[in-house]
Amino acid sequence: MPASAEFQQRLESRLSAVIRHFGTPFHIYDEKGIKETCAGLSNAFAGIPGFQEYFAVKALPNPAILKIIQGMGFGFDCSSIAELELSRQLGARGEQIMFTSANTSRQEYLAAAADGGCILNLDDVSFVDKVPDMPELICFRYNPGERRTGNSIIGNPVEAKYGVAHDQIVAAYQRAMKRGATRFGLHTMLASNEREYSYMVETARMLLELVKWISGELDIKFEFINIGGGLGIPYRPGESRLDIQSMAKEITAAFDDFRGNNGYAPKMYMESGRYITGPHGILVTSAINRKEIYRTYVGVDACMSALMRPGMYGAYHHITVPGKSGGDEIVDVVGSLCENNDKFAIQRSLPKTEDGDLLLIHDTGAHGIAMGFNYNGKLRPKELLLREDGSVELIRREERLEDYFATLDFEPDRLAAQ
């Protein structure tokens, strides 16, 4: 389902004033909705001692949003130096940060270890020898290969570049122990935008079984398992929500069983991005052109630089037109890039719009602006935050031409010919 009725109501009651003040296009996020989702997740998993969500920073890397999420007791899942820096600027330290990188560089290991370190999650057995200083606490990302089927966005685990293969996982911990690791976690991330809760339950069970097996082989205990992110949200009207209560109930039971059989249980970590912020963002854009050739095109003042998911994955984002309803015509809603996949909607039934109408593109709170790029010299829009008290705050300004030209501004530097 698109943005909640409450968020739409909160936004639309203020929309004309917001537009007058800030202009379009912009992403706007809903503080109240984000907090409610965070609280709902924590409550659902309260039966597992030590449950911790690490928000996947890449989903919405804005400090104002991260601060709200941190205030709800969550840590941060980072995968780059910039994301580590963002998290640390907010005061997150040590085990409040999980660093899950792929194809990791030496600079990234050094950044991960700086400023009190973080939980280091290694993506390959060969990385054990490349970590400059092996931390006490180490985690590996597990790739089950043919043991599990993935889903359409993240793909088949056998073809996924991530993680340590099943046959290497015991050796990976063994090698880390040789280098001095004494505390252990186990991680996986198999699905993306998965609304079928039983998939997540299976993932938790799979990791608990692995923990039992690896612990037995190496005589170690695990402090946590991390089931990754990938919890889905309904983007299309009529799609069902992920049943978080049933998911939590069944995973809690699996942990209780494990504790019953083994005398202890690891903690449970999760690193959702989309589930936390996805439904709580809307891209507000204005219709600026209308073109009728073989199809009707509604041209808006935002483009792929603001939201790549439709162009990149064929993803559906619901679109509404404030003050208008019904499906009067079939149109493509397009941006201004010289790329024919720069379309927010293809052959969508929408109310008849004219220049100046606002279009609300829903569910842009995760993997929205963060994915945007500057191809074709297109700049990214601003981000706004709708506070719980109804005020609206600029939390990132729009990119400007001087930002685009910033990397061309440097001292002459030339390597002379031989």
Ligand X SMILES: *Cc1c(COP(=O)(O)O)cnc(C)c1O
As annotated, the active-site residues are 338
Return the H-helix or E-strand segment holding 396.
strand 392-396
Which of 61, 75, 144, 228 contacts ligand X by CB under 6 A?
228
271 binds ligand X (CB under 6 A): yes
100 binds ligand X (CB under 6 A): yes
Which of 11, 112, 189, 392 contacts ligand X by CB under 6 A?
189
278 token code pair: 């996805």
Q: Which residues are within 8 A (CB) of 234 and not within 5 positions of it... i.e. 6 or more apart?
A: 1, 195, 240, 241
CB of 229 to ligand X, least distance (A): 3
CA angle (77 as vertex; 163, 51 as ends), nearest 5: 95
Task: Give φ, ψ of 141 to 5 degrees.
Answer: -90, 125
Specify the 3-state DSSP secondary structure of 402: helix
CB of 394 to ligand X, least distance (A): 25
Return the H-helix or E-strand segment holding 296.
strand 296-300
**CA nearest 270: which of 248, 253, 245, 254?**
248
Size of the site for ligand X (CB under 6 A): 17
Q: Supply the DSSP string of 309-323, one letter for each residue.
A: HHHHH-----EEBTT
Which of 32, 88, 175, 274 contacts ligand X by CB under 6 A?
274
59 binds ligand X (CB under 6 A): yes
Site string for ligand X, 341-380 (x = CB under 6 A): -------------------------x--------------
229 binds ligand X (CB under 6 A): yes
CB of 324 to ligand X, least distance (A): 32
Q: Which stretch binds ligand X (CB under 6 A): 54-62, 108-116, 260-268, 304-312?
A: 54-62
CB of 331 to ligand X, least distance (A): 29
Q: Which stretch binds ligand X (CB under 6 A): 84-92, 250-258, 270-278, 279-287?
A: 270-278
225 binds ligand X (CB under 6 A): no
Within a 10 A sphere around the Cβ of 300, how many other Cβ atoms?
27
Within a 10 A sphere around the Cβ of 121, how many other Cβ atoms?
25
User: What is the DSSP code (8-state) at residue 224?
Assistant: E
Specify the 3-state DSSP secondary structure of 66: helix
CB of 278 to ligand X, least distance (A): 7
Site string for ligand X, 291-320 (x = CB under 6 A): ------------------------------
Window 67-96: residues binding ligand X (CB under 6 A) = 77
Pick between residue 242 and residue 300 the one whose CB is nearest to ligand X. 242
217 token code pair: 């082989």
**CA nearest 144: which of 179, 180, 171, 168?**
168
Q: Which stretch binds ligand X (CB under 6 A): 7-15, 222-230, 383-391, 396-404?
A: 222-230
Distance between CA 185 and CA 214 in Å, rounded? Answer: 11
- By CB under 6 A, name the binding residues for ligand X: 56, 58-59, 77, 100, 189, 192, 228-231, 271-275, 366
